[in-house]
Amino acid sequence: MMMDLVDELMRLFGSENVKFDHEEIEKYSRDETSGVEGEIPLAVVFPTSTEQVSQLMRWANERRVAVVPRGAGTGLSGGAIPTKNSVVVSLERMNRIIELDERNMTIVVEPGVITGEIQKIAEEHGLYYAGDPASSESSSIGGNVAENAGGVKVIKYGPTAFHVLGLEVVLPTGEVVHFGGKTLKNVTGYDMVRLFVGSEGTLGIVTKIVLRLVPRPKYAAVLLVPFGGIEDALLCVPKLLSQSGLLPASIEFMDRYSSEMASRFLNESIPNPEAECHLIFELESSDKQNLVKEYIELGETLMQMNATEVYIADDRTQRMKIWRFRKAIAEGIIAFRPVHCMEDVVVPTANMPKLIVSTYQIAQKRGLEVLNFGHVGDGNVHVTFLKPERMQNAVWEQALEEALEELYRTTVQLEGSLTGEHGVGLKRKKYLRMFLGEKEIELMKRLKSLFDPNNILNPGKIFPD
């Protein structure tokens, strides 16, 4: 029966576009999420056009076969992990840049384009794609849209949703629909673009994306700021945001343990590696003198707020070096501490110091190791619990469960949310009820069944069993 389905897929899409050999497709049974087990799919289909995606969904809907969309598989919530007897649709071969419209400052792309490529092409045209997840060199824009990816430039430019103007989507029933377009404003009917962005591949498969580009900032400077105390560093963020009159493009945080991961991964060091933590600021301006004035003022203010030192990188090479370091933290964790749990809680910015400080107590109480890094300027921190080397698996699992419960309870008390950018997926669905009421969940489920009456598109994700 299962092999019959695979044969049908081969007939429909050709053997060059379907893989089913277990060894070859084993890597499609997981993403970058630690601790979430998947199934080897029945097959992986590699469409090259919207028509093929539509044909696949029509077939799957008729046969009631589950389909799991997949971009580059860098997800951190298990969203692209297949459930039993499902077919993975990998969008990696739909990777064309369709149009860059300089005058309207838009770019139209297929979902499999790697985000960093969009950034580069925009830059070559003197423009800027402001979506910048730390995985920009490896994640696809389709995955960014499905997760509403954030990253290191959210304070100033917003998450992916702020850059998406239009979408082409294949519905679970196979119909192709278009939402939005190239206009910056559009209130003709409901905002379907915003509904689909962040829907984690459960409502439809995104096959084309119209993205907004903005003018490229002429000058930028990155400030790397070590602190002797974590609380000092964290308390200055909301103060600076509300009182300095500046809107930095980024304010990132990494504690000492996080820096050690990046350092080990890159075999590189940063100034003051012994500091308890570092903040990273990026300022942008169209005027060089203005930028210098702003970073000097910011640096002085930070020194008054107990920073140990302020390092300024205002040439591109130095700036890139700092960002490369910051972006390597998650890769270091995945490489050196594979048994971990990377969280993605988000709280209103001013509540973030309390949240981060509490995580060290939550971990210590249970003998766990923890590190914190992330986008403190937008209240989003990747609290990461690590299994101590000698801890038995069963003890780790129990301690982790308790630690997560306490972390989420604290997040709720601080008016926060379960996930800021990584999504619910498989990893967090059992905690959804701590953050959403029954009515909200019911409305969301009704939306899901409106688009996907047979529950064939990415089933088992987001909603608790």
Is 166 a binding residue for ligand FAD by CB under 6 A? The answer is no
Structure tokens at 348: 């209103």
Q: Which residues from 64-123 bind ligand FAD, rule CB under 6 A?
A: 68-76, 79-80, 91, 111
CB atoms within 10 A of CB 309: 15
Q: Residues in the chain, how many? A: 465
> Which is it for the CA torsion 304, 415, 423, 363, positive or negative?
positive
Site string for ligand FAD, 27-56 (x = CB under 6 A): ----xx------------------------
Q: Which residues from 446-465 bind ligand FAD, rule CB under 6 A?
A: 458
Smaller CB distance to ligand FAD: residue 140 or 272? Answer: 140
Shortest separation between residue 322's beta carbon and ligand FAD, angstroms: 15
Is 57 a binding residue for ligand FAD by CB under 6 A? The answer is no
String of DSSP letters for 18-78: EE--HHHHGGGG--S-TT------SEEE---SHHHHHHHHHHHHHHT--EEEESSS--SSS
Is 142 a binding residue for ligand FAD by CB under 6 A? The answer is yes
Q: Which residues from 217-256 bind ligand FAD, rule CB under 6 A?
A: none
Pairing of strands 219-227, 87-90: unpaired
Shortest separation between residue 219's beta carbon and ligand FAD, angstroms: 24
Is 201 a binding residue for ligand FAD by CB under 6 A? The answer is yes
- Spatial CA neighbour of 377 closest among 231, 277, 253: 253
Query: What's the DSSP call for residue 102?
Result: T
Owner of token pair 């404003």: 185
Shortest separation between residue 336's beta carbon and ligand FAD, angstroms: 13
Structure tokens at 61: 């809907």
Shortest separation between residue 429's beta carbon and ligand FAD, angstroms: 12
Structure tokens at 84: 């039993």
How far, rounded to the nearest angstrom, does the alpha carbon of residue 186 sit from its chain's CA centroid? 26
Q: Which residue is nearest to ligand FAD (CB)?
A: 143
Using the rule CB under 6 A, give the single segment among 136-144, 223-231, 239-247, 428-436 that binds ligand FAD: 136-144
Is 143 a binding residue for ligand FAD by CB under 6 A? The answer is yes
Residue type at 16 in one-letter notation: E
Site string for ligand FAD, 319-358 (x = CB under 6 A): -----------xx---------------------------
Smaller CB distance to ligand FAD: residue 226 or 423? Answer: 423
Largest CA distance in the chain: 70
- Spatial CA neighbour of 216 closest among 312, 120, 294, 97: 120
Contact 230, 356 (CB under 8 A): yes
- Spatial CA neighbour of 68 closest among 48, 44, 49, 94: 44
CB atoms within 10 A of CB 240: 20
Shortest separation between residue 286's beta carbon and ligand FAD, angstroms: 26
Smaller CB distance to ligand FAD: residue 293 or 324? Answer: 324
Query: What's the DSSP call for residue 163?
Result: G
Smaller CB distance to ligand FAD: residue 5 or 134? Answer: 134
Residue 214, helix vs strand vs coil: strand
Shortest separation between residue 187's beta carbon and ligand FAD, angstroms: 25
Name the residues that contact ligand FAD, by CB under 6 A: 31-32, 68-76, 79-80, 91, 111, 133-135, 139-140, 142-144, 146-147, 149-151, 200-201, 205-206, 330-331, 421-422, 458
